[in-house]
Structure 1
Amino acid sequence: MSLMKTARHVLLGLAITTLPVLAHARCAGDDLRPTLLPDEKAEVDARLAETPYTSGNHWIARRGDEIVHLVGTIHLSDPRLDGPTERLSPLLDDAAVLLLEMAGPDRKTMEASIASDPAMFMLSDGSLPDLLSEDEWQQLSSAMAARDMPAFIGARMQPWYVSMLLSVPACMKDLLEQNDGLDVRLEAIAEEKRVPTLSLEPWDTGLALFAAVPMAAQLSMIRSALAPPEVNEDLFETIITTYFEEAHAESQLVLEVLSPRLTPMQEEEADVVFDTVNSAMIDARNRAWIPVILDTLESTEGPVVAAFGAAHLSGEEGVLNLLAEEGFELERAPF
């Protein structure tokens, strides 16, 4: 696997925590929501009822003269993005700034850094065969081979990185060469309209947060991704279908509820994985983004457009609720 492909895997892996996209031409998964058992559906419904801002991929936050358009994105290509791209394009006509998780210059910096120092993904001591059972290692070796990664290379990689690699169904591997998600499309429009584009966080934020995850939780993340290929495809189809239904909170909750039944993890282990990823990769980043959004509003004149993975929108620690706590009034808008 080339270093550039490795960089794209990392970018995609970070995107997985904030809603990935399925290539329908290559994968054949099914939406899993109809398969929920009665008790599972009841749990999803109950948790949805307690969650702020469960749906909507475009919201407007207003506080006095300050206006922020908040857009939930997916990071890879899907032809159904053509409509939202066309409808959202006018937002950039009078926008002062477009804020993205990672703007183009930072993406290039990240790829160059990964290419020059792939050791950032390697275990400093030991190997995955030492940390997993023999059966788990054999499953992992087969899964990596399906993604064109030799086992001897994967054996030395950090578990968090391997889990991201495995979370992408093997039928999607060609998508790693594409770069046409909603965030990239909006950035291209902003460039045409001479709207500055800035990053919400330093390029290495996600990498540092994953690297800080305890080793036991990282190994659980690997186990969570060792589901059969058809299950991985179904999970991805569920995510993408709920995205285009603008049901981002439901997407996350369905995955959490189904994981103990569809993956090798027990319920307690699944809870640890989701709690760890949600806390580090979503909640902590959301809180860090709020000062960036507020500072951008203060330092510019005109509306701000902030586009980021749709999973960051909902919940008590979601960007929408955090802005409401800052005194903004929220209004759902067409997507």
Structure 2
Amino acid sequence: MIARILSLLCFLALTQPAFATCSGNDLRPTLGPDERASLDAALANAPFADGNHWKATRGHATLHLIGTMHLADPRLDAPVRRLTPTVESADLLLLEMTSEDELALQSRLTTDPSLLLMADTTLPELLSDTQWDQMTEALNARGVPPFMAARFQPWYVSILLAIPPCASQDDLAGGGLDARIEEIAKTNGIPSAALEDVETIFAAFSDQSRQTQIDMMLSSLVDPAINEDLFATMLASYFDEAPAEGWAMSTILAERYSPVTSDAAAAIFATMERALLIDRNRAWIPVLIEATETHDTVVAAFGAAHLPGKDGVLALLQAEGFTLERLPF
């Protein structure tokens, strides 16, 4: 799963008023024997592999952990109804980024886009003619003029390419589970705070070497139809409450479809798993624990991929003495 800030960044770059509705296919049934074995092995070693809503308790502390997706989808209506009483009972809501932070970031990026731009070179200079032609076609399909994207940081372009051309601006901006949970909290006068500084997600990408960023960008150059299927597969795993499967499927399908070698695709995924998930998960644990020490009931809502695995938020909290219980989502 990508963070809420990434959907905002994609939204800021899109200039078309709308795109066609996505209708990709869930690729999970298409796994070959080797791919299925890889998936089974990944899930066998992933604690807390299933579930989008968990309760962690330690002493008098109660912490609800809700795995979110950051895109609008009508299938979220039922989970929102079920989760509303949980949110309404909270004393504090923790998010990856609050709406106030999002507005401040949007204002900053529109007036000072230096976070997203290269000052020393351009993409056409970094790529071969063939690669830039492919990039131009992919960017045009997403309503991003290549002349505007020529100075984008390669990591940012990789995010733009991860979103299929069929995705609408409504999908990318607002209406995700994070935003809907935050709206419930606001309506009930429940304060919200961020789990991390807004700069954290930028650093996770920008701290990567230029070559790693280029590799990330090139690995995202897949056929639009395949891109749409990847998107559909990610969403299907999410609504099946299978976050570990969703992340593992992304890894397997990247190796299947990415134009770079399978070894390179696996290396890219491992690098970004460390930067986007593992390192951030570990940084969030003290924030979550501190919140439970000053509030009776805390709800924390963040991308579902942060929940499972030995380096996931749930396992890290268990190691801190919390008892975990899966609840309805």
Cα offset for 1:8? 5.4
What is the total number of aligned residue pairs between the two structures? 320
Q: Distance in 1 between matches of 2:93 and 2:175?
A: 17
CA distance in 1, matches of 2:257, 2:316: 33
1:133 is displaced (CA, Å) by 2.1
Measure how far apart 1:94 and its partner are: 2.3
Post-superposition offset of 1:177: 6.2
Distance in 1 (CA, whole Å) between partners of 2:157 and 2:293 is: 41
Which of 92, 98, 102 is 1:97 aligned to? Answer: 92
Contact residue 54 and residue 249 of structure 1 kept, 8 A: yes
Cα distance change on mapping 1:327 and 1:254 into 2, 3 Å: same
Query: Among residues 308, 316, 327, which one is paired with 1:322 in the alignment?
Result: 316
For 2:314 and 2:131, how far apart are their aligned partners in 1? 40
CA 1:222–1:92 in 2, change beyond 3 Å: closer, same or farther? same
Question: Is residue 2:221 matched to residue 1:226?
Answer: yes
Aligned counterparts of 1:85 and 1:205: Cα–Cα separation in 2: 28
3-state SS, counterpart of residue 166 of structure 2: helix
Structure 1 counterpart of 2:160, from 165, 171, 177 = 165
Q: Which amino acid aligns with 2:93?
A: L
How far has the Cα of 1:174 moved from its partner? 2.8
1:24–1:11 Cα change, 3 Å: closer
Q: TM-score, normalised by structure 2?
A: 0.93
What secondary structure sits across from 2:151 in the alignment? coil
Could you tell me how far apart the structure 2 residues matched to 1:48 and 1:7 are?
Answer: 27
Are 1:110 and 1:204, in contact at CA under 8 Å, matched by a contact in 2? no
- Indicate yes or no: 2:308 matched with 1:311: no
Structure 1 pair 7–65 and aligned structure 2 pair: CA distance change class (3 A): closer
Match of 2:293 among 292, 298, 312: 298
Note closer, same or farther for the CA distance 1:157–1:227 as it changes in structure 2 (3 Å cut): same
Q: For 1:69, what is the secondary structure of its paired residue?
A: strand
Name the structure 2 match of 1:20: none
**What SS does structure 2 have at the residue aligned with 1:327?**
coil
Aligned partner (choices 44, 53, 57) of residue 52 of structure 2? 57
Letter of the aligned partner of 1:204 in structure 2?
Answer: E
Q: CA deviation at 1:167?
A: 0.7
- 1:199 maps to which of 182, 194, 202: 194
Contact 2:204–2:275 (CA under 8 A) maintained in structure 1: yes
* Equivalent residues in 2 for 1:1-335, closer than 5 Å: 9-10=8-9, 26-175=21-170, 178-300=173-295, 302-335=296-329
Unaligned runs of 5+ in 2: 13-17
Q: Is the 8 A contact 1:7 1:114 kept in 2?
A: no
Moved more, 92-101 or 23-32: 23-32
Aligned mates of 1:25, 1:324 — CA distance in 2: 43
Match in the other structure for 2:15:
none
Going from structure 1 to structure 2, the CA distance change for 1:227 and 1:11 (only over 3 Å counts) comes to closer
* Aligned CA distance change for structure 1 residues 25 and 244 (closer, same or farther; 3 Å): farther
2:62 touches 2:297 (CA, 8 Å); kept in 1?
yes
Structure 1: 5+ residue stretches without partners:
1-5, 14-22
- Most deviating of 231-240 and 92-101: 92-101
Alignment partners' CA distance in 2, 1:51 and 1:30: 26
Distance in 1, matches of 2:285 and 2:239, equals: 26
Q: Distance in 1 between matches of 2:247 and 2:177?
A: 20
Q: CA RMSD in A?
A: 1.9
**1:217-267: CA deviation from partner (whole Å, max 9, x where unpaired):** 111111121000001000000000000000111111112112222120211
Matching residue's letter, 1:234: D
Encode CA deviations 1:17-66: one digit per residue, 9 max, x unaligned: xxxxxx99701210111111101101110111011111100001011111
Change (3 A) 1:263 1:314: same
TM-score calculated relative to the size of structure 1:
0.92
1:189 partner SS: helix
Give secondary structure in 2 for the equivalent of 1:144. Answer: helix
Structure 1 residues 319 and 261: alpha-carbon distance in aligned structure 2, compared to 1, 3 A threshold: same
CA–CA separation in structure 2 for the residues paired with 1:11 and 1:258: 22
